[in-house]
Amino acid sequence: MLPLINNDATPLIWRDGHGITRAGFIHAAQQLAARLADRTHVINLCASRLGFMLGWTAAALRNQVTLLPPNQTEAALQLLQRNFPQHSIIDDRSLDKLDWNSKSSATPSIDSEHIIATLFTSGSTGAPQAHAKTWASLTRTAQLDAQRCIPKPINLVATVPSQHMFGLQTTVLLPLLGGCAIHDSKPFFPADIRAALESIPAPRALITTPAHLRACIAVNLQIPEVEFVLCATAFLSEELARQTEVMWRTTVLEFYGSTEAGAIGTRRTTEGDAWLLHPGTTISKEMAGTYYHAPHLSAPLLLNDQIELLDGQQFRLLGRDMDQIKIAGKRGSLNEMTQALMNIPGVKDGVVFMPANAERTAALVVAPGISSNYILDQLALSVDAVFLPRPLVMLEQLPRNEMGKLTQTALLQALHI
């Protein structure tokens, strides 16, 4: 058995300027658990941190598995609902009339090998892939993250959703198990981030993405002091990290990880390209590829990236397999996207690729008599929005060389004609 929450005297969530206590939270989670329908699975759509954590804990108390969709689109939800007919849905309205001002002295715990959640990753196309997590594995992940990033109790503001792995680790597990309290909201615009940080006491930290950071720095956003900024989900440039450190007099840390592993390593972006492995974990080079070994993984995990080992504790990323890209926290395959493009009736030839230094994919398409908007809408049926190509250029033929190949130079030239 393992506790679902560290039941100490520190606050868990900051909401409307007040700290919600852990004892109050447990009391409310027990009420919500009693209300849950007798099902096997729960789909947790809460946007508020309080709602998500209450739903998460209530489902665990009833031995129900929390399902986390790859995104919040109608299509992703419908697929989950079809595949798991024995489910109920929790959203922020489920919190009505819950009381978190009374206290419970109990510390709820569950069987450590219980599957507490299944996360889904969509990849670029096709059926979502399921990743089941036991409470023991998530508890160990949280302990490693906390050891590496949280040297002392700290108050968090996070812009990322709780429903994917990075969000789950930082906005749910760190508060529940890792000595943090988190602001209830999920701020989006720079001014929202400032307001959330202003409403919580020091010491503070910000969990965010390169896209949000860029928006904050571009408007010269002034915020209260933050001990560190923790960033993940897409490529963060050293330049942006440096500007952030200077403007906010802080430290910018990056997470490297995956849905399968959780976090693998961290680095301070301005200190160079060496990543520090989480404590107690190792990387090994084998014939079949590079493997990550960690106490929370039941078997060594094959990593998708090309990695150079520097010493037992540090490694360097040598760039991803050219086919694999990562945008807004989602990994996708350019080959699969090209295949989806070619599958659209009327498309004679086409390619999806990633121009150097671009934030989005681009596409070249040969499809006489069909509009680019039609193609984009067709593509959107199977490809996540963040991967939809922009620009999408219609051509009479692709710039294939005599071998039939498309070089990066030829692709870029065709894009700018």
Partner 1 sequence: MPDAATLTADELIMGQHLVQTLNLDGVQAADIAPDAALFGNHAEGLGLDSIDALEIALMIQQHYGVELRSEDKEARTAFESLRKLTQFVLFKRS
Binding site for partner 1 (CB under 8 A): 187-192, 195, 211-212, 214-215, 218-219, 328, 359, 371-374, 376-377, 380, 385-386, 388, 390-393
Nearest approach in angstroms of CB 194 to partner 1 is 9
| Separation of alpha carbons 323 and 267, rounded Å | 25
8 A C-beta contact, residue 201 and residue 219: no
Smaller CB distance to partner 1: residue 214 or 331? 214
- DSSP H/E element including 414: helix 408-415
Alpha helices in 102-237 (DSSP H): 135-149, 165-167, 174-177, 190-198, 210-218
Would you state the structure tokens that stand for residue 203, as one six-digit string? Answer: 């010491």
| Separation of alpha carbons 131 and 68, rounded Å | 10
Would you state the structure tokens that stand for residue 112, as one six-digit string? Answer: 């450590």
Nearest approach in angstroms of CB 415 to partner 1 is 9
Smaller CB distance to partner 1: residue 215 or 406? 215
Nearest approach in angstroms of CB 188 to partner 1 is 6
| Separation of alpha carbons 31 and 157, rounded Å | 27
CB neighbours (10 Å) of residue 246? 11
Sorted by sequence, the CB contacts under 8 Å of residue 339 that are 6+ apart come out as 125
Sorted by sequence, the CB contacts under 8 Å of residue 100 that are 6+ apart come out as 20, 21, 24, 25, 27, 28, 50
Nearest approach in angstroms of CB 336 to partner 1 is 19
Nearest approach in angstroms of CB 385 to partner 1 is 4
Nearest approach in angstroms of CB 391 to partner 1 is 4
Distance of CA 21 to the CA centre of its chain: 26
Smaller CB distance to partner 1: residue 84 or 189? 189
Smaller CB distance to partner 1: residue 219 or 318? 219
- DSSP H/E element including 286: strand 282-286
Sorted by sequence, the CB contacts under 8 Å of residue 93 that are 6+ apart come out as none
Smaller CB distance to partner 1: residue 2 or 215? 215
Angle between helices 22-35 and 49-61 (to 10 degrees): 60
| Separation of alpha carbons 136 and 145, rounded Å | 14
8 A C-beta contact, residue 109 and residue 53: no
Smaller CB distance to partner 1: residue 374 or 408? 374
Nearest approach in angstroms of CB 214 to partner 1 is 8
Smaller CB distance to partner 1: residue 44 or 159? 159
Nearest approach in angstroms of CB 212 to partner 1 is 7
Q: Which residues pair with 89 in a beta bridge?
A: 43
Nearest approach in angstroms of CB 160 to partner 1 is 12
Smaller CB distance to partner 1: residue 15 or 140? 15
| Burial per residue of 165-186, b for 16 or more beta-carbon CB atoms within 10 angstroms, e otherwise | bbbbbbbbbbbbbbbbbbbbbb
